[in-house]
C-alpha cells in the first residue's frame, strides 16, 4: 500500500446528495463502503468532515450575522452532527469507530487527546474528528491539516466532487487542464484554491502531501491507497 495512515477530508456539502439541505443517507452509506474497503486493507483511517450542508459560519456572517466567532462555533457543532451521522453509517457497515471532539461534549464524543487518537488508530478503529480545531476563524481544512500533522499521517486525502486540481474550475471552463502532480510552490504561484492558505501552509511546512480526488467515483479511494494514478498529488 502507498500509505499506512491517512487523514480523509470530506466536505459537508457532499453529504447533501440530491437534497437542498441536510444529509442524504445513501451518500453516507456509499462513503462508509469506500472507507470500509481501505480499512480492510489494514489502512489506519482518520476523518475530518465539514458542516456546510447544515451551517457555515462564513456564510452566516455574509448573510448578516454580526458575531463571526459565534457563527463559527455554530459551524463547529454542525460538523459534529455530520460526524455522528458518518459514525453511525460506518458502524452499520461493521467498523469500530471513535468520535473525538475539539469541543467537550462527553455524552456524544470523547474529548480530543492526541495520544488517545493515535492509540485508537493503532487498534484498528476509524477515528472521526469533530468540531474543527475548537477555535473560531479556522476552517475544517485547517482542522484536517492540524490533525493530520498531530497523528503523523502519511497524507491528507481530500475527497471532492472533481477528479483533481485543474488550471481553472472544470465545471465552468471546458478548457481547464488537470495536473497529475504539482508542487506546493506552484499551487501558490498559480493561486490554485486547493485549501485555505492557513491549512495549505501547515501541510507545506510539515512536508505533508495532499491528494485531491473524486470521492464519489466508486473504487477511487482503494485505487489511490494502492498507488494507482488517482486525482492530483501536491507534494
Q: Indicate which CATH number applies to the domain containing 197.
A: 3.40.1160.10
Reply yes or no on whether the pLDDT at 133 is more than 90. yes
CA proximity to 127, closest of 225, 40, 35: 35
Reply yes or no on whether the pLDDT at 40 is more than 90. yes
Instruction: State the pLDDT at residue 23.
Output: 95
Cβ neighbours of residue 62 under 8 Å, at least 6 residues apart?
A: none
- Residues pairing with 211 in the sheet: 157, 233
Q: Kindly state the cell numbers that stand for 14.
A: 457532499
Helices and strands, counts by H and E, the chain: 8, 11
CA atoms within 13 A on the CB side of 196: 12
Neighbours of 130 (CB within 10 A): 32
Reply yes or no on whether the pLDDT at 161 is more than 90. no
Instruction: State the pLDDT at residue 17.
Output: 87
Q: How far is CA 168 from the centre of its chain?
A: 22
Q: How many structural domains comprise the chain?
A: 1
Q: Kindly state the cell numbers that stand for 190.
A: 498559480
State the Cα–Cα distance between residues 41 and 34, nearest whole angstrom: 11
Its pTM stands at 0.95
Reply yes or no on whether the pLDDT at 63 is more than 90. no
The percent helix, strand, coil of the chain (3-state, each to 5) is: 40, 20, 40
Q: What is the mean pLDDT of residues 27-56?
A: 96
Domain containing 207: what range? Answer: 5-234
**CA angle in degrees (0–180, nearest 5) for 140-18-224:** 55
Binned at pLDDT 50, 70 and 90, residue 39 comes out as: very high
Name the average pLDDT for the chain: 95
Q: Kindly state the cell numbers that stand for 67.
A: 458575531
Instruction: State the pLDDT at residue 170.
Output: 85
Q: What is the mean pLDDT of residues 105-122?
A: 97
Amino acid at each position: 500500500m502507498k500509505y499506512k495512515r491517512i487523514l480523509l477530508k470530506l466536505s459537508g456539502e457532499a453529504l447533501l446528495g440530491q437534497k437542498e439541505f441536510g444529509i442524504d443517507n445513501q451518500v453516507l452509506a456509499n462513503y462508509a463502503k469506500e472507507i470500509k474497503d481501505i480499512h480492510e486493507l489494514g489502512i489506519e483511517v482518520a476523518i475530518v468532515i465539514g458542516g456546510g450542508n447544515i451551517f457555515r459560519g462564513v456564510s452566516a456572517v455574509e448573510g448578516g450575522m454580526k458575531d463571526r466567532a459565534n457563527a463559527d462555533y455554530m459551524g463547529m457543532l454542525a460538523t459534529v452532527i455530520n460526524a455522528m451521522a458518518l459514525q453511525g453509517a460506518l458502524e452499520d457497515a461493521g467498523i469500530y469507530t471513535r468520535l473525538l471532539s475539539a469541543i467537550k461534549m462527553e455524552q456524544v464524543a470523547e474529548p480530543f487527546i492526541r495520544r488517545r487518537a493515535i492509540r485508537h488508530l493503532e487498534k484498528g478503529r476509524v477515528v472521526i474528528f469533530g468540531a474543527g480545531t475548537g477555535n473560531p476563524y479556522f476552517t475544517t481544512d485547517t482542522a484536517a491539516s492540524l490533525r493530520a500533522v498531530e497523528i503523523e499521517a502519511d497524507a491528507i486525502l481530500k475527497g471532492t466532487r472533481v477528479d483533481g486540481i485543474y488550471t481553472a474550475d472544470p465545471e465552468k471552463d471546458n478548457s481547464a487542464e488537470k495536473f497529475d502532480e504539482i508542487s506546493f510552490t506552484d499551487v501558490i504561484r498559480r493561486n490554485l484554491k486547493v485549501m485555505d492558505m492557513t491549512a495549505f501552509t501547515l501541510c507545506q511546512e510539515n512536508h505533508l502531501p495532499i491528494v485531491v480526488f473524486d470521492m464519489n467515483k466508486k473504487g477511487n479511494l482503494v485505487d489511490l491507497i494502492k498507488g494507482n494514478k488517482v486525482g492530483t498529488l501536491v507534494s
